[in-house]
Amino acid sequence: MGNFADFHARSINDRDAFWAEHAKRVEWKVQPKQICDYSNPPFAKWFVGGETNLCHNAVDRHLAERADQPALIFVSTETDTEKTYTYRELHAEVQRMAAILQDQGVVKGDRVLIYMPMIAEAAFAMLACVRLGAIHSVVFGGFASHSLATRIEDASPKVIISADAGSRGGKVVPYKPLLDDAIKLSAHKPAKVIMVDRQLAAFTPVAGRDLDYATERAKHMDAVVPCEWVESTHPSYTLYTSGTTGKPKGVQRDTGGYTVALAASMPHVFEGKPGGTFFCTSDIGWVVGHSYIIYGPLIGGMATILYEGLPIRPDGGIWWSLVEKYKVNVMFSAPTAIRVLKKQDPALLTKYDLSSLQALFLAGEPLDEPTAKWISEGLNGKAIIDNYWQTETGWPILSICNGVEKAPSKFGSPGKAIYGYNVKLVDDQTGEELTGANQKGVLTIEGPLPPGNLQTIWGDDARFVKTYWKTVPNKLVYSTFDWAVRDEDGYFFILGRTDDVINVAGHRLGTREIEESISSHPNVAEVAVVGVADQLKGQVAMAFAIAKDTSGLTDAAARLKLEGEVMKVVDSQLGAVARPSRVFFVSALPKTRSGKLLRRAIQAVAEGRDPGDLTTMDDPAALQQIMELVKA
Ligand code: AMP
């Protein structure tokens, strides 16, 4: 055990020596010549001159020592499937998938888009891409055709890997029709689509474009596809995320820095040990799924559970039964899931033997105190560790790092800045650093961002600089777009976003994207979407719209009908995750005299709070109307 303060200080003050040490956790074909090149801020290049491969570090390197140890444990309570792949078997499956991609001409630098449910083949696909040096872009299966189309267009993949369907709560969710629509909508067309046919939803393959995975796999049972050694700075993947503007951003990750960051996080943040089992309940469509369902645990030589299903089916004890069965050591979930479990019989928490479990990590959204207390008591005092991070960072920014030094958690706080992160709270107006205790500021990170963080936005360096580094006056610092305070002990508390991003059940959504989708309904003239506090999901989207033609909206039934239509538009374009909880029809929206939407005021009254200073408001009646509608 060390001293966390010293460990952190060294990561900042003696940066290169610190990370050079951690680089030894990774196998390199060619050792790095320079640890960090920050000659062109804010672009950081990590482990320059080094050559490695993410798949090699996640799979191949373990074959010597742990070929017959479980690597990937696929559990679907939707299809009643459980299958364990050893490292040897995973290695074989990944090579088969890689051979299929090679047949389609996929080479280093090509993009491959993965639109898949939570099945083992999704893991094979991701690992096969990085094995070849191809850049994967996983799109969350809950996104619908419009969201998918924008991502296909931006990533311009040579190949898409998908499946006939997912399943949720026993209900089949077809993927293929959404994918076909998305390809139609997109200006870019993939040359081939590889379809994993789970036989859940019948579909007609597109002749000349769609290939059947099982047929292709059968041709490559003995495939030997060596890892392509790539430069440390070679992109491993892009992952799209929402921001203030409508167009999602492709967060681009490198190879070497990401591998080192994850390798170091396993012992220091998660205390995961080779041979142990990691169970992350996220989805491969999110950053947490990339880092801690797939890459982190495998790099760390652990077995990882990939789970398709709900936390409460067949009952609310399912996850704990998996902890018992697979002797899970480290579990990672989201506060929303725990709030769902909180509604179940508490006896389910004590029904199973959870003695293997060391800690439960929770991330993606604020962890409220009642939920934290409930789970902490239910798990009999096991460590409950709140993690704060973003798609952009790839691994946590704030956490307790028990692997470095045991430290107590504080309810409502994700802990301290992790090693490598030079976190500063700054005044949003002046850019001045706030060093006093309990001062509210924007949480920023001074460059260079540590290994594993985004390199840039895919295809748009200028947007990367403008979006993240130019928002704080007089300073080149990375903005997280989160408000925070730090207490006298250095523990941070996150207070919400500074931009128009909302967080629904841990899913990050841009209100502008939802507004654009709603506006495409022929009878919507204007709309404002805000995030409103919700007991279960943390936040939900709520929409206030002005109809173009109000003549038919004379009664509640007509308004409900239009509301239903608008929700369907969002469902079909963006997916159910983005569907607003309510769409209210109003005659005007509160704006400033210069015509700027007063979202903060709308959000405040929608949550029953005081809207604050309204001196710049043009038409106070508009806000009054919203207040009355929400109250009713
Ligand atoms: P995403 O990129 O989807 O992971 O969303 C990142 C955003 O989620 C952050 O900028 C925060 O607003 C929020 N977030 C993530 N983790 C936490 C946490 N532990 N506590 C509070 N907010 C969080």
Distance in Å, CA 453 to ligand 1 centroid: 15
pLDDT tier at 617, thresholds 50, 70, 90: confident
Atom of ligand 1 nearest to the CA of 496: 12
Q: For residue 163, which of 188, 189, 138 has the smallest C-alpha distance?
A: 138
Q: How far apart are CA 385 and CA 402, in angstroms?
A: 9
Neighbour-count burial for 163-185, b at 16+ CB within 10 Å, e otherwise? bbbbbbeeeebebbebbbbbbee
3 state SS for 127-177: HHHHHHCCEEEECCCCCCHHHHHHHHHHHCCCEEEEECEEEECCEEEECHH
124 CA → ligand 1 middle, Å: 28
Query: Position of tokens 């039934």?
Result: 557
Q: What is the mean pLDDT of residues 407-426?
A: 96
Q: Whose CA is nearest to atom 1 of ligand 1?
A: 390
Mutate to test the pocket of ligand 1, among 253, 482, 485 (most ligand atoms within 8 A of CB): 482
Distance 572 CA to ligand 1 centre (A): 26
b/e map 313-325, b = 16+ CB within 10 Å: eeebbbbbebbbe
Return the ligand 1 atom nearest residue 387 CA: 19
pLDDT-derived band at 573 (thresholds 50, 70, 90) equals very high
Cα distance between residue 307 and residue 281, in whole Å: 7
Q: How far is the CA of 447 from the centre of ligand 1 (A)?
A: 20
pLDDT interval class at 594 (50, 70, 90) = confident
Residue 1's pLDDT is what? 61
Average pLDDT over residues 227-249: 91
Mean pLDDT of 264-279: 98
pLDDT at 164: 98
Mean pLDDT of 601-627: 88
Least confident window among 295-304, 412-421, 475-484, 619-628: 619-628
Which range is least confidently modeled, 129-143, 249-263, 538-552, 591-605?
591-605
Q: With 90 as the cut, is the pLDDT of residue 554 above it?
A: no
Ligand 1 centroid–CA 425 distance in Å is 16
* pLDDT exceeds cutoff 80 at 39: yes
CA of 508 to the centre of ligand 1 (A): 8
Write down the mean pLDDT value for the chain: 96
Instruction: Confirm if 400 and 492 have CB atoms less than 8 A apart.
Output: no
pLDDT band at 620 (very low <50, low <70, confident <90, very high): confident
- Strand ranges in 492-578 using DSSP code E only, listed in sequence order: 492-497, 501-504, 507-510, 524-534, 538-547
pLDDT at 613: 79
> Does residue 113 have a pLDDT over 90?
yes
Q: What atom of ligand 1 comes closest to residue 480's alpha carbon?
A: 10
Residue 364 Cα to ligand 1 middle (Å): 4
Band of residue 585 on the pLDDT scale cut at 50, 70, 90: very high
Best residue among 390, 400, 418, 421 to mutate for probing ligand 1's pocket (most ligand atoms within 8 Å of CB) is 390
Report the range out of 65-74, 141-150, 246-255 with the highest average pLDDT: 65-74
Residue nearest atom 7 of ligand 1, based on CA coordinates: 390
Which residue ranges have their beta carbon within 6 Å of ligand 1?
Answer: 241, 287, 363-367, 386-391, 414, 480, 482, 494, 497, 503, 508
Residue 338 CA, chain-centre distance (Å), reads: 18
Q: Is-contact 502 511, C-beta < 8 A?
A: yes
Confidence of residue 597 (pLDDT cuts 50, 70, 90): confident
Start-to-end CA distance of the chain, whole Å, equals 57
How many angstroms from the chain centroid is the CA of residue 582? Answer: 25
Higher pLDDT, 381 or 82: 82
Question: 450: Cβ–Cβ under 8 A, 6 or more apart, which residues?
Answer: 11, 19, 257, 261, 419, 420, 421
Indicate the range of 161-165, 246-250, 327-331, 453-457 predicted with least confidence: 246-250
Query: Sheet holding 423-426: strands in order across?
Result: 423-426, 441-446, 477-486, 492-497
What pLDDT digit, counting tens, does each position of 348-370 carry? 999 999 999 999 999 999 999 89
Q: For the whole prediction, is pTM greater than 0.85? A: yes
The residue whose CA has the least distance to atom 23 of ligand 1 is 365
Which pair of structure tokens corresponds to residue 306? 């990939």
Ligand 1 mean position, distance from CA 416 (Å): 15
Among residues 151, 265, 241, 147, which one has the least CA distance to residue 468? 241
Secondary structure of residue 87 in the 3-state scheme: helix
Q: Which residues of 555-566 are buried (b: 16+ CB within 10 A; e: fewer)?
A: eeeebeebbeeb
Dist CA 501 CA 541 (whole Å): 10
Ligand 1 pocket mutation, candidates 362, 385, 494, criterion most atoms within 8 A of CB: 494
Residue 244, pLDDT > 80, answer no
Cα torsion through 426, 450, 364, 75, rounded to 10? 180
Atom in ligand 1 nearest the alpha carbon of residue 386: 19
How many Cβ atoms are within 10 Å of 519's Cβ, its own excluded?
14
83-95, pLDDT tens digit by residue?
A: 999 999 999 999 9
- Tell me which residue has its CA closest to atom 20 in ligand 1: 366
Mean pLDDT, residues 582-601: 90
Q: What is the pLDDT of residue 2?
A: 77
Give percent of the chain with pLDDT exceeding 90.
91
pLDDT tens per residue across span 187-217: 999 999 999 999 999 999 999 999 999 999 9
**Residue closest to 362 by CA, chosen among 345, 375, 377:** 375
Nearest CA to ligand 1 atom 9: 390
Local confidence band at 381 (pLDDT 50, 70, 90 cut-offs): confident
Does position 245 have pLDDT exceeding 80, yes or no? no
Q: Which atom of ligand 1 is nearest to the CA of 503?
A: 8
**β-pairing verdict for 582-585 and 538-547:** parallel
Q: Say what the pLDDT of residue 354 is.
A: 96
How far, CA to CA in Å, does 549 sit from each of 103, 230, 278, 453, 523?
A: 54, 58, 54, 48, 6
Q: Which residue has the higher pLDDT, 17 or 617?
A: 17
Closest by Cα among 262, 303, 227, 245 to 61: 227
Q: What is the pLDDT of residue 246?
A: 63
Q: Look at the block and give the residue holding tokens 């299958």.
A: 83
Lowest mean pLDDT among 297-306, 554-563, 589-598: 589-598
**pLDDT of 65 higher than 80:** yes
Mutate which of 388, 468, 495, 539 for ligand 1? The one with the most ligand atoms within 8 Å of its CB, which is 388
Output the pLDDT for position 593.
Answer: 84
Look at ligand 1, atom 6, and give the residue with the nearest C-alpha.
Answer: 390
- Residue 367 CA: which ligand 1 atom is closest? 20
Q: Ligand 1 mean position to 483 CA, how many Å? A: 11
Least confident of 123-127, 243-247, 570-574: 243-247
Distance 279 CA to ligand 1 centre (A): 20
Lookup: tokens for 356: 């293997």
The pLDDT of residue 100: 98
